[in-house]
Structure 1
Amino acid sequence: MERTFCMVKPDGVRRGCIGDIISRFECKGLRLVDLKLVTLTADQAARHYAEHQGKDFYDDLIQFITSGPVVPMILEGPNAVAASRALIGATDPLKAAPGTIRGDYGLTVSENIIHGADSPENADREIANIFTL
């Protein structure tokens, strides 16, 4: 079984999309291992988005992800990373296919509802940044 990390972002929490998003993962066959409602610290956000440090959008990204509660979660199942990424859809919600989370709920790249790990290695790193297992 593979594990992955996904996180409903502040815009998704504010809009009350948490239950619908979790339901999509569960209906796909991914098992919810852990989740919580938290507001990320600046340090957690910096570690989470370390690969974007120095880019022109980095400060706005950190400000947004720490602007309110998020729902980080650990999901488990066969090919969990690829399966969750397929459900999430393209980063730009306007280019995301209908039926994906971002295609159905997102409007802008900067507030695109959800984050999903892009590899098992990043999933492990992101899980360790938020959860104490």
Structure 2
Amino acid sequence: MANERSLILFKPDAVQRRLCGELLSRIEKRGLKIVGLKMLQVTKELSAQHYAEHVEKPFYPLLEEFITSGPVVALVVEGPEAISVMRTMMGSTNGRESALGTIRGDFGLSRQMNLIHGSDGPEAAAREIPIYFKAEELIEYETTLAGWVCADDEK
């Protein structure tokens, strides 16, 4: 299994609704390792860099308005198949259509205000992580519980 890293953003609605601790707790309880974590304000420039593929689309101005409307919490998670694990945990983009038990299914009712962003593949993660984190801000370490999360042949 591939040990991967994924960029995760707790979006402004998650911060304003004081859900960051709950979301972080779910990620940690699942067994993913946090290797980078910070709070920041997304600027228009940062938004355009992150969502470069959407800048020319008609919905982009609303996306930019939302993501720059308040602080976000950015983190990098690491673990076996971290990208797909996080995508499953997040649920469908639209909270109304997302399964109960997922982050969006448990806390969301909106397509746009959907609480959390996660890289959608290895290429996206490789592009997104350096937008939010310098290499020296990502910490390499072993957790004392790693052997209890996955068997050696699953890492």
Q: Same fold (TM over 0.5)?
A: yes
Within a 5 Å distance, the mapping from 1:67-82 to structure 2 comes to 67-82=69-84
**Displacement of 1:94:** 0.7
**1:120 aligned residue:** 122
Structure 2: distance between partners of 1:38 and 1:110? 20
Report sequence identity in percent.
47
* Structure 2 unaligned spans of 5+: 136-155
TM-score where L is the length of structure 2: 0.84
Which of residues 86, 91, 94 in structure 2 aligns to 1:92?
Answer: 94
* Structure 1 unaligned spans of 5+: none
Which of residues 1, 11, 27 in structure 1 aligns to 2:29?
Answer: 27
**1:44 aligned residue:** 46
SS of the equivalent of 1:83 reads helix
**Displacement of 1:55:** 1.5
**2:151 aligned residue:** none
Structure 1: distance between partners of 2:7 and 2:39? 14
Structure 1: distance between partners of 2:103 and 2:19? 10
**2:145 aligned residue:** none
**Displacement of 1:64:** 0.7
Provide the aligned C-alpha RMSD in A: 0.7
SS of the equivalent of 1:91 reads coil
Aligned AA for 2:122?
Answer: P
Which of residues 36, 48, 67 in structure 2 aligns to 1:65?
Answer: 67
Shift >6 Å, 4+ stretches: none
